[in-house]
A and B are shown apart, each in its own frame.
Chain A
Amino acid sequence: MKYLDAFRAKEPLHTILSRITALPSNPLSIMEVCGTHTVSIARFGLRSLLPSHIRLISGPGCPVCVTAQGDIDLVIMLAREGGGHKKCIIATFGDMMRVPGSDSSLMQEKARGADVRMVYSPADALAMAAENPDAEVVFFAVGFETTSPTIAATILRARQANIGNFSIISNHKLIPPAMHVLLEDTTTAIDGFLCPGHVSAIIGIKPYQTIVERYRKGCVVSGFEPLDIVISTYRLMLQIQEGVPRAEIEYSRVVQAEGNAKALELLSRVFDVTDARWRGFGVIPRSGLTLKDAYARYDAVKKFDLTAPEVPDPRACQCGQVLKGIIAPPECPLFANTCTPEEPAGACMVSSEGTCATYYKYEQRTPSN
């Protein structure tokens, strides 16, 4: 199944673009809520291909970026002090290593001697715990609905294998509640959403139907290739022109309307929905996941009696405004100035899918977009 070329083909792309240009339309702001979309749009130069009245704006689609400062400080503290244990290994995804906390990062703590390790999969962190029975392995878990089922499966495996020296700090977040907040906010003007393909593979289309009914904004679940994104934009524009917002799936080769039932079952078996603090947004009710009481022994916050400090988002840094799509990265005074991928001031410049890092890499010559 070799489809890459087909989904990147030039001919249909130009045809759909000319369709879009021909469609009479008021200025439109379409938000993508997935960092992988943000990267695709920038990498393939889609902003410059679309007519100027179509604004593609990036939303809170990067889990690294939306993690609150206090939650990062908490893990840095644990890396430093080891939770009272002689040997404590902090495992996390690569991008989390470099996110600046208030006065350090996990990478800096590693340089100072803390045992911080990068993993590709939560299953690797569990294997690390099995291989190091004299150490406590704490997995700093971030991610949206795409990632949280992999953590749920790992917790169930830990219980099955009776691995007691493994725990997680859950910073999992849910995408639809953030979309609700964005639509309630009068400073953001969003005409429709390109919905995240892989989050939707898990949650299906139902959460977007609620958004369509409540706010009358269209939602199209899009794939990640240039043709996917352009045709999804076109479908949103057709909805707006007809005045009939809908929840649609363009990425039908992966996403089913009902989502992934097994992954959803694992999620509800292991996690409770809870209020969560987001960078730039503050606390969003029922937008996070915490381990159920039955799995409390795998909850590092309970196990080591940790409390996240109340830390405001860094002041000069405009990550919050960027994450809400209120400003584009070049409008932040720190962008490409004192905040670069080598020395990031804010989380959005760290992750390879962060909006600022993506703009820095691909879109610096078009700051007016």
Chain B
Amino acid sequence: MCIAIPLEIVEVRGNIALARYGNSTRQVHLDLLEGVGAGDYVLVHAGFAIEKLNKDEAEKTLTLFKEIGDEIP
């Protein structure tokens, strides 16, 4: 039940944001996060953004996967 989906924020209106959801948008509540802006990716659970996605860390994890792969002859 702790499933959360990553969505891109399109617009912030106070405590509520619009996030891209396929070809439409949906409302996301921002009560649990500070400093969210358009273009950020957030993880949405039960209608609330619970954390921002960190692009640099995502890249780092993928690099790590690749490095492990490369170590094997």
Contacts and interface: CB of A to CB of B under 8 A. Distances in A.
A120 B1 contact: no
A262 B62 contact: no
Given A6-B62, A231-B64, 13 more contacts: A12-B68, A36-B2, A95-B1, A122-B47, A123-B29, A150-B45, A153-B31, A157-B31, A197-B2, A252-B57, A253-B55, A254-B51, A263-B50
Interface in B4-51: 4, 6, 8, 29, 31-34, 41, 43, 45-48, 50-51
6 residue pairs, one from A and one from B, having the closest CB atoms: A121-B47, A153-B31, A253-B58, A146-B2, A12-B65, A15-B69
Contacts of A157: 31
B72 A149 contact: no
Given A19-B68, A260-B32, A260-B51, A64 B1 contact: yes
Contacts of A124: 47
A253 B53 contact: yes
Contacts of A255: 51
A16 interface: yes
A351 B29 CA distance: 25
Residue among B51, B55, B62, B66 facing the most chain A CB atoms (10 A cut-off)? B51
A3 B58 contact: yes
Given A1-B55, A62-B1, A253-B53, A146 B45 contact: yes
Interface size of A as a range: 35 or more
Interface residues of B, number: 33
Given A6-B62, A254-B43, A147 B51 contact: no
Contacts of A36: 2-3
A75 B31 CA distance: 28
B1 A156 contact: no
A227 interface: yes
Interface string A116-131: 0000111110000000
B72 A147 contact: no
Nearest to B15: A157
Interface of A: 1, 3, 6-7, 9, 11-12, 15-16, 18-19, 34-36, 61-64, 93, 95, 120-124, 142-144, 146-147, 149-150, 153, 156-157, 196-199, 201-202, 223, 227-228, 231, 250, 252-256, 260, 262-263, 266, 351, 353
Contact of B3 (A64, A121, A353): A353
A215 to B, nearest CB: 23
A173 B58 CA distance: 30
A153 B58 contact: no
Contacts of B2: 34-36, 61, 63, 143-144, 146-147, 196-199
B43 A198 contact: yes
B53 A143 contact: no
B41 A1 contact: yes
A153 B1 contact: no
A7 B65 CA distance: 9
A146 B47 contact: no
Residue among B3, B47, B65, B69 facing the most chain A CB atoms (10 A cut-off)? B65
Residue among A34, A35, A123 facing the most chain B CB atoms (10 A cut-off)? A123
A150 B33 contact: no
Given A1-B55, A146-B2, A254-B53, A15 B68 contact: yes
Contacts of B61: 223, 228, 250, 252-253
B32 A263 contact: yes
Nearest to B44: A121
B65 to A, nearest CB: 4
